[in-house]
């Protein structure tokens, strides 16, 4: 008789100990108590490592500079201080903070759409259509994935310069069309999840390459779109380097670049600085304002991940098990 590996049910009989369900699960999965305890400890350490900075950032925006020094690190100050910090940010350079947030939303949305429009069709073509030079294109894609972004600084700047779009929003949008990791992930996804028999049957029915992509590729690409959208959204939203290099106007900066302007010119995070006055309008910026900006810049990535969590998991595990 085959061994039952189904997930154990919680005991409901009276007199059962509370840990009987855990003991049954450990026995059926073959995991010893020591291994289980080690895994729990590792997971708790990872959670603590990743959540501690974010928790401190959230509590820091509720405190004054004096409270940051005198109160415990994770103590909560006054919630009213968050509104005070936001009002100070709105006064900075006539509300340029709002302009930075809108710029980040605009650049990220346009760049995300452009990257998906290029990566998904390219990955589908590499996975399904046989053409001369296909292996060369795949090698180039892999090489581009391994090239560090710093090595492309000068070519990217020269390209934007000759296109005459330096210091324009398009200088931050057009580079998003180059998404080699998205192309390779899409290629692997279609390679693993699209049976060759379906492609052969569609060819027999007279489907062209575009019809293959429209009627077969697009309906199957929902899961991989979630993975690409999340990974590229996080990269585009936190893109600090391009917004600093390719854009000079303060009104065209993104939120990460704007935060660096405030921190660099104010010194609010330096231990010796308690408060500082930002020229030319005299707006006072303290550490609570910088912490609030950090939380604002982190929230969109967290929200997108929560909304796309199921698609991210499905897309990341697609093709892992073949039937």
Separation between Cα atoms, residue 290 and residue 311, nearest integer Å: 33
* Mean pLDDT for the chain overall: 82
* 313-to-20, 170, 224, 288 alpha-carbon distances in Å: 31, 32, 10, 36
Question: Within this chain, do residues 136 and 269 fall inside the same structural domain, yes or no?
Answer: yes
Question: Within this chain, do residues 124 and 64 fall inside the same structural domain, yes or no?
Answer: no
Q: Which structural domain, as residue segments, surrounds residue 102?
A: 94-317
Highest mean pLDDT among 50-54, 222-226, 307-311: 50-54
Separation between Cα atoms, residue 179 and residue 191, nearest integer Å: 18
Q: Residue 291: inside a domain, yes or no?
A: yes
What local confidence, expressed as pLDDT, does residue 203 receive? Answer: 87
3-state helix, strand, coil in the chain (%, to 5): 70, 0, 30
Question: Within this chain, do residues 161 and 309 fall inside the same structural domain, yes or no?
Answer: yes
Whether the pLDDT of residue 286 is over 90: the answer is no
Q: What are phi and psi of 189, to 5 degrees?
A: -65, -50
Task: Provide the domain count of the chain.
Answer: 2
Residue with more model confidence, 268 or 131: 131
Q: Is the CA virtual torsion 112, 113, 118, 120 positive or negative?
A: positive
What local confidence, expressed as pLDDT, does residue 193 receive? Answer: 84
User: Three-class SS of residue 96?
Assistant: helix
Enter the pTM of the model.
0.79
What local confidence, expressed as pLDDT, does residue 15 receive? Answer: 46
Model confidence pLDDT, tens digit, residues 219-266: 888 888 888 888 899 889 998 888 988 999 999 999 999 988 888 776
Rounded (10°) CA dihedral 249, 108, 49, 261: 10
Assign residue 197 the CATH number of its domain: 1.10.3720.10
Supply the angle between the helices 180-193 and 96-128 in degrees, to the nearest 10.
40
Q: How many other β-carbons are positioned within 10 Å of the β-carbon of residue 30? A: 8
Whether the pLDDT of residue 204 is over 50: the answer is yes
What local confidence, expressed as pLDDT, does residue 28 receive? Answer: 63
- To the nearest whole percent, how much of the chain has pLDDT over 90? 38
User: What is the helix (H) or strand (E) element at residue 276, kind and residue range?
Assistant: strand 276-278
Question: Within this chain, do residues 87 and 105 fall inside the same structural domain, yes or no?
Answer: no
Tokens of 215: 């009627």
Q: What are phi and psi of 276, to 5 degrees?
A: -145, 155
Residue 21, CB-side half-sphere exposure with 13 Å CA sphere: 8
Supply the angle between the helices 309-317 and 222-237 in degrees, to the nearest 10.
110
Question: Within this chain, do residues 164 and 311 fall inside the same structural domain, yes or no?
Answer: yes
């Amino acid at each position: 008789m085959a061994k039952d590996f189904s997930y154990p049910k919680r005991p409901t009989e009276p007199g059962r100990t509370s840990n009987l369900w855990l003991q049954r699960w450990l026995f059926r999965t073959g995991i010893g108590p020591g291994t289980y305890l080690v895994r729990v400890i590792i997971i708790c350490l990872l959670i603590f490592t990743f959540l501690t900075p974010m928790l401190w950032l959230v509590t820091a925006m509720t405190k004054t500079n004096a409270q940051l020094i005198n109160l415990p690190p994770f103590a909560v100050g006054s919630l009213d201080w968050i509104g005070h910090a936001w009002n100070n940010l709105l006064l900075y350079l006539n509300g340029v903070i709002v302009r930075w947030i809108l710029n980040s939303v605009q650049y990220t949305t346009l760049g995300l759409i452009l990257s998906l429009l290029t990566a998904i069709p390219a990955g589908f073509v590499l996975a399904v259509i046989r053409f001369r030079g296909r292996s060369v294109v795949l090698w180039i894609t892999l090489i581009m994935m391994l090239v560090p972004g710093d090595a492309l600084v000068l070519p990217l700047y020269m390209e934007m310069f000759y296109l005459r779009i330096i210091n324009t929003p398009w200088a931050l949008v057009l580079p998003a069309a180059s998404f080699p990791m998205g192309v390779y992930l899409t290629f692997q996804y279609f390679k693993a999840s699209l049976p060759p028999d379906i492609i052969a049957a569609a060819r027999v029915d007279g489907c062209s390459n575009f019809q293959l992509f429209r009627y077969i590729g697009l309906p199957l690409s929902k899961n991989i779109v979630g993975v690409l959208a999340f990974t590229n959204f996080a990269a585009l939203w936190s893109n600090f380097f391009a917004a600093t290099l390719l854009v000079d106007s303060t009104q065209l900066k993104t939120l990460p670049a704007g935060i660096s302007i405030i921190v660099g010119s104010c010194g609010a995070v330096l231990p010796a600085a308690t408060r500082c006055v930002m020229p030319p309008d005299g707006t006072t910026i303290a550490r609570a304002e910088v912490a609030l900006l950090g939380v604002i810049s982190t929230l969109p990535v967290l929200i997108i991940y929560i909304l796309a969590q199921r698609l991210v998991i499905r897309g990341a595990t697609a093709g892992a098990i073949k039937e």
